[in-house]
């Protein structure tokens, strides 16, 4: 009987600890989200310069089916940060950001048309982690034509962001772009 009571007390203590710790984590996450208001841009915002674009969001772990178009286009699309909490959209071949970015959080968005692999995003030579992605189908044939990818550059006050990707299929070309984020 005493062993059962001890087991119940231990289980209840563990449940209370888990409940309290998850509350602190979610409270910290919600504060972080409120501070930066980092919501993925509305689908219309992403497709403003892509004619007849129909953007589709995939579920995590979803397999993209259909013929895989080769990588034909790649560029650095936008940046958002704690210091400039709106998306700054970049033109093709733009050499530097206009706005001052940096702060506790910074995310840089890249655009790929076609299917890439072996993607590398770097800030001042340091590899960055992929934060999120959004596939799009711009001709309505239910085959994803490309992807927007968010890269986590949090903690960098400024620097040169470089991005490269290799086509997933023939002609296996490698494409790259870079921009100085101030």
Q: How many domains are contained in the chain?
A: 2
Q: Answer whether 96's CB lies under 8 Å from 180's CB.
A: yes
Query: Do 146 and 113 share a structural domain?
Result: yes
74 in a domain, yes or no? yes
CB burial string 100-121: b at 16+ within 10 A, e below: ebbbebbbbbbbbbbbbeebeb
Query: Do 87 and 143 share a structural domain?
Result: yes
Query: Do 58 and 31 share a structural domain?
Result: no
Tokens 């209840």 belong to residue: 12
42 in a domain, yes or no? no
Per-residue pLDDT tens, the chain, 182 aa: give them. Answer: 555 555 554 454 544 544 444 444 333 343 334 344 444 444 445 544 443 344 444 555 444 555 678 999 999 999 999 999 999 999 998 999 999 998 899 999 999 999 999 999 999 999 999 999 999 988 888 888 999 999 999 999 999 999 999 999 888 999 999 999 99
Query: Do 33 and 6 share a structural domain?
Result: yes
Q: 146: closest CA among 64, 60, 38?
A: 64
Q: List beta partners, residue 81.
A: 106
Give the chain's radius of gyration (CA, Å): 21
43 in a domain, yes or no? no
Query: Do 139 and 87 share a structural domain?
Result: yes
- DSSP-assigned letter for residue 62: P
Q: 115: closest CA among 56, 51, 175?
A: 175
121 in a domain, yes or no? yes
- The CATH code of the domain that includes 151 is 2.60.40.2870
Query: Do 70 and 15 share a structural domain?
Result: no
157 in a domain, yes or no? yes
Query: Do 75 and 146 share a structural domain?
Result: yes
pTM of the model: 0.66
Q: Which domain holds residue 32?
A: 1-37
75 in a domain, yes or no? yes
Query: Do 65 and 22 share a structural domain?
Result: no
Query: Do 99 and 125 share a structural domain?
Result: yes
């Amino acid at each position: 009987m005493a062993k059962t009571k001890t087991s119940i007390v231990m289980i209840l203590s563990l449940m209370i600890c888990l409940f309290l710790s998850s509350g602190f984590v979610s409270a910290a996450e919600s504060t972080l989200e409120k501070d930066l208001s980092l919501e993925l841009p509305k689908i219309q915002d992403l497709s403003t310069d892509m004619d007849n674009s129909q953007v589709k969001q995939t579920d995590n772990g979803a397999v993209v089916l259909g013929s895989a178009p080769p990588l034909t286009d790649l560029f650095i699309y936008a940046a958002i940060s704690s210091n400039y909490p709106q998306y700054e959209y970049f033109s093709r071949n733009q050499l530097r950001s206009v706005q001052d970015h940096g702060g506790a959080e910074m995310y840089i968005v890249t655009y790929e048309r076609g299917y890439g692999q072996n993607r590398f995003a770097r800030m001042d030579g340091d590899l960055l982690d992929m934060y999120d992605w959004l596939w799009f189908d711009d001709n309505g044939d239910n085959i994803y034509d490309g992807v927007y990818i968010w890269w986590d550059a949090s903690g960098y006050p400024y620097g040169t962001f470089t991005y490269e990707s290799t086509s997933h299929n023939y002609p296996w070309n490698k494409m790259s772009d870079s921009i100085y984020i101030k």
